[in-house]
Structure 1
Amino acid sequence: MTAALPALHDQLRQDGFAFVAAGPMQVLLDAHALPDWAAFTASWNELAPDAYLASTGRHRRRRHATFSADAGGVCREAHQPHYQSKTYNTLQGDIERWFEPVTADGPSLRRIIGFCHDCFGALAPDVARWRVEVHQFRIEARADEAGEPTPEGVHRDGVDFVLVLLIDRSNIESGTTTIHAADGRLLGSFTLTRPFDAALVDDARVFHGVTAVTPLDPTQPAHRDVLVVTFRDAARSRA
């Protein structure tokens, strides 16, 4: 842990993004000390449809929560909408989107947020207080229609830092994460394939997207489950 975190900081400072494979990520999260991990991952089975998608949410399910993080620790805030301007989300920007709240707020989620606070806080030590948003996503794929993890395309989220943590991947192919410079140049790509595989992004420096997912066996259910955690300086106005 002591060696892995500084190396991760160095990579984020140098490249603006990092892929962390499941093994090292489990070390960073101290995964053996997550007593509710099974219940936490099972909560993805209880996500509600995303009714804001043009397809009325048939292929994406989600829950959302807002936290604050500062020197005193992490605190959950009152339930509130998720908002992005059209500058960052041309598909669903400039509206307040209300999603069902995250219910699995136990040791696993708090450890993940705490890791992000340690990691991102070291990269921006002048930030006194962070606004943290947590998103549980399930992307479903069908034989007649691919699932779109990022229907808005290659984008920025309008925050400071992003963690994408793979929770589960069942009967899915593709779903490749791509990282781009502001001029569209491809900077890197990787696929989250195992639980705990993770992508970390400096949102101010790079753009990111995920390719569509399709079922390996079109006769069976197929899904891709991820946890997305965003950190934004609370002193900065919303994106």
Structure 2
Amino acid sequence: MSLSALDLLHRAVADAGFTFVHAPAMRALLEQQAPLSDWAAFAGSWDRLEPDAYLARTGRARRRRHGAYRATRDGAIERAPHRPHYQSLDYNPLQGGIERWFAPIEDGIADGASLRCILAFARSVFDRLAPDVRAWQVEAHQFRIEATPGHAGEPTPEGRHRDGVDYVLVLLIRRDNIASGTTGIYRVEDGREVGSFTLTTPFDAALVDDHRVLHGVTAVSPLDPAQPACRDVLGVTFRREDGH
């Protein structure tokens, strides 16, 4: 019996701890969940992200919004009350150890068709990878990295890292006038690189087992210094709620 695209994706993450999904395949997988009926509005919401005031304290620039959800295996994916994003210093030596309050994802986007479809897809994959989990704490992060002449943008200013969760989905939304931004994947045990790829086309995606691998993204710079340059991504993290 031939394996489906979802079967192959699941097997890749189970075997290697990560996988890169090209845009056409990723879009098809999402549309198997539900129509992306508000995609234009969803992608356009990146133009209304707020500055990351915490990163600005280190002399770096980034825009973002944040949303929290709870996902059960057989139930609805429900929005949770807006809360701070927290990582320990073990996972984020640059900004860990503090509660970071970011602007919330706009209501129409947070409850919109595209984001709901992405969350449902991620749950379908991560439920299969962790069949013992009954409920997940989910966070959605909208990021915009801007690059200007003489000031490279840093998608991962903390360097190679883990997010301190169970699984991560990263989806490219937009990439304008940007050079580089290569994602590297590294073994937790010894830091050896086991993969690299560049998100170049909207819907290019990566799925990561955060227990098994580190990830990092190289700095980005403008192709044309006279024009605006940005890299927009959605990051979604799943952390088991039950503590098993």
Q: Distance in 1 between matches of 2:65 and 2:59?
A: 13
Report the counterpart of residue 82 of structure 1 in structure 2: 85
For 1:191, which of 198, 216, 230 is the aligned residue?
198
- Of 178, 181, 197, the residue aligned with 2:187 is 181
Match of 2:235 among 224, 228, 239: 228
- The change in CA–CA distance for 1:99 and 1:162 in structure 2 (over 3 A counts) is same
Partner residue in 2 for 1:133: 139
The partner residue of 2:224 within 196, 217, 230 is 217
Q: One-letter code of the match for 2:48?
A: E
Structure 1 distance, partners of 2:18, 2:36, is 26
Determine which of 87, 93, 97 is the counterpart of 1:94. 97
Q: Between 32-41 and 218-227, report the one with greater CA deviation.
A: 32-41
Runs of 5+ in structure 2 lacking a partner?
A: none
**Which deviations, in whole Å up to 9, do the C-alpha atoms of 1:18-38 show, x marking residues without a partner?**
000000001100178211000
Runs (5+) with no aligned partner, structure 1: none
Q: Give the secondary-structure state (helix, strand or coil) at the position aligned to 1:147.
A: coil
- Say if 2:178 and 2:220, in contact at 8 Å, map to a contact too: yes
Pair 208,80 (structure 1): closer, same or farther in 2 beyond 3 Å: same
Corresponding residue for 1:20?
Answer: 21
SS at match of 1:33: coil
Select the residue among 144, 148, 151 that pairs with 1:142.
Answer: 148
TM-score by length of 2: 0.94
Matched, 1:158 2:164: yes
TM-score by length of 1: 0.96
> 1:131-188: per-residue Cα shift (whole Å, max 9, x none)?
0000000000010110000000000000000000000000000000000012110000
> Using the alignment, how far apart are the partners of 1:43 and 1:236 within structure 2?
34
Amino acid at match of 1:97: R
Q: Deviations over 1:64-98 (max 9, x none)?
A: 00000002120000000000000000000000000
Q: Distance in 2 between matches of 1:84 and 1:20?
A: 27
Cα RMSD of the aligned pairs, angstroms, is 1.5
Distance 2:225 2:123 in 1: 40
Determine what percentage of the aligned residue pairs are the same residue: 62
Letter in 1 for 2:96: G
Q: Counterparts of 2:28 and 2:46 in 1: how far apart (Å)?
A: 23
Q: Does the CA-based 8 Å contact 2:35-2:117 persist in structure 1?
A: no
In structure 2, the partner of 1:10 is 11
Q: Distance in 2 between matches of 1:156 and 1:51?
A: 22
Aligned to 2:121: 115
Q: Deviations over 1:97-116 (max 9, x none)?
A: 00000011200000000000
1:50 to 32, 49, 52: 52
- 3-state SS of 1:193 partner: coil
In the comparison of the two structures, how many residue pairs are matched?
236
Contact 2:64 2:143 (8 Å CA) reproduced:
yes
The DSSP-based 3-state class of the residue aligned with 1:30 is helix
